[in-house]
Amino acid sequence: MTDVTLPSLGESVTEGIITQWFKKVGDTVARDEPLFEVSTDKVDSEMPSPAAGVLVQILAEEGDTVETGSRVAVIDDSGAPAPSAPKVDEPRKESPSAVAPIPAPPVAAKSDETASSVVVSPVVRRILADGGVDPSTLRGSGPGGSITRRDAERAVLDGPTEELVVALSNGRRRMGQHMAVSAQVTPHGFVAIETDGTVFAKLDALGRSTRDGVAISDETLVSLAAVRALAEFEYLNATFTGDELVVHRTVNLGLVRSVADDGMLVPVVHAASGLTLRALARRVSELDDRVASRQLTTDDLMGGTFTVLGAPSANTLWSEPIIIQPQVAVLSVGAVRTVPVVVTNDDVATVGVGRRLVLGLSFDHRVCEPAGAAHYLERVGQLLAGLDVEGER
């Protein structure tokens, strides 16, 4: 027999919520095959099976909170048929032989966790998607508020008929908690400037990709200038440890990413200092691929020292983001716009067509003031205008 335990999920992560089992008792599993999904305050991850065999016991149900190192299942790796056991989605009769001691939080804490998440299996999600029903509009009747197949079929047949109280997803709840704490502990300030965006017209003329075929976004171009400007404004590339400010010599660049129906994530480009446009575009593309495929690791989300928020839409002038703790600043990028601009040649002013965008900086008043923030943004604009896009792509 092989015990399946919840492995270490990263620095400072001590527990996780079992959100989904991909196998049920009696199923055959292969070594390294995805066995269950776990959600932490950092990331949702699929956990592989540590052995090949038959799943004979599930000791932590969907919605349960378990500590790292705790037993969550048992696999019979001898090749013998699985003993009769209740299915995962049916209530189990507990007996001394069927229940193993698992470190677990008090019942009240467990109830809080399960009440704050909605578990949706792939089958149920497909039924709801085909029927045009949003899972967030339903209250599940399954364990921990999970949506059962009968719930999904009924919703598709009848459609929602009443107002429902919908629990926040784990991701949105974590995002809200973090932002609430940041707003309370950090004295936020904000400054925005409009800057020249002619470099984006140059990029359009050359082609929106590197010589290796990797896409170059407006956000990536601004991020490159932002990282380079931090060499002259080191106090913005810093984090707080208690009451001490730690100024970092290397830039670990966080990039805000929206996750459908689940808030946002901030994956990190580590050691961004010194990267060329081509190298940064490749690193950003790799992170975005892992976000899309839900393959981000805990390391991908840790260690950020400065954050950039790209334009949320093509019509966004500017955003005023909340600082990601324990950092001290976050740069927001507005959409690049084609606008009428005044051009002066030989003291003669004329109106022409140009590109403009708004850059904003949310900053911690303990380390910066509006004038310093404005100077940083102006330097980002200068470096952006002077980028050798052709040479670096």
Q: What share of the chain is helix, strand, coil (3-state, %, to 5)?
A: 30, 25, 45
Q: Token digits for 255?
A: 């990039």
Judged on CB neighbours under 10 Å (0-12, 13-18, 19+), 107 is exposed
pLDDT score for 66: 87
> Distance between CA 114 and CA 348 in Å, rounded?
68
Q: Return the C-alpha torsion angle 318, 322, 326, 332, nearest 10.
A: -10
CATH number assigned to the domain covering 118-158: 4.10.320.10
pLDDT tens digits, one per residue of 111-134: 333 333 456 777 788 888 888 888
pLDDT for 86: 46
Helix then strand count (H, E) for the chain reads 9, 19
Instruction: Tell me what pLDDT residue 170 has.
Output: 81
Q: Give pLDDT, residue 116.
A: 38
Scanning the structure block, which residue is given the tokens 């075929």? Answer: 213
How many Å apart are CA 265 and CA 307, to the nearest integer?
12
The tokens describing 139, both together, are 């209250």
Please state the domain extents for the chain.
2-112, 118-158, 172-392
45: which strand partners? 38
Within this chain, domains 2-112 and 118-158 share the same CATH topology: no
Record: fold of 2-112: OB fold (Dihydrolipoamide Acetyltransferase, E2P) (2.40.50)
- Minimal CA–CA distance to 359: which of 339, 380, 343? 380
Q: How many angstroms separate the Cα of 14 from the Cα of each of 11, 73, 287, 361?
A: 8, 18, 25, 34
pLDDT for res 118: 58
Query: How high does pLDDT run on average in the chain?
Result: 85
> pTM value?
0.62
User: Alpha helix locations (H) across 293-346?
Assistant: none
3-state helix/strand/coil string of 166-194: CCCCHHHHHHHHHHHHHHHHCCEEEEEEE
Rounded Cα gap, residues 335 and 355, in angstroms = 10
Q: What is the pLDDT of residue 165?
A: 76
Q: Name the class of domain 172-392.
A: alpha beta
Instruction: Enumerate residue ranges in the chain where pLDDT < 50.
Output: 80-117
User: Tokens 């290397």 belong to which residue?
Assistant: 250
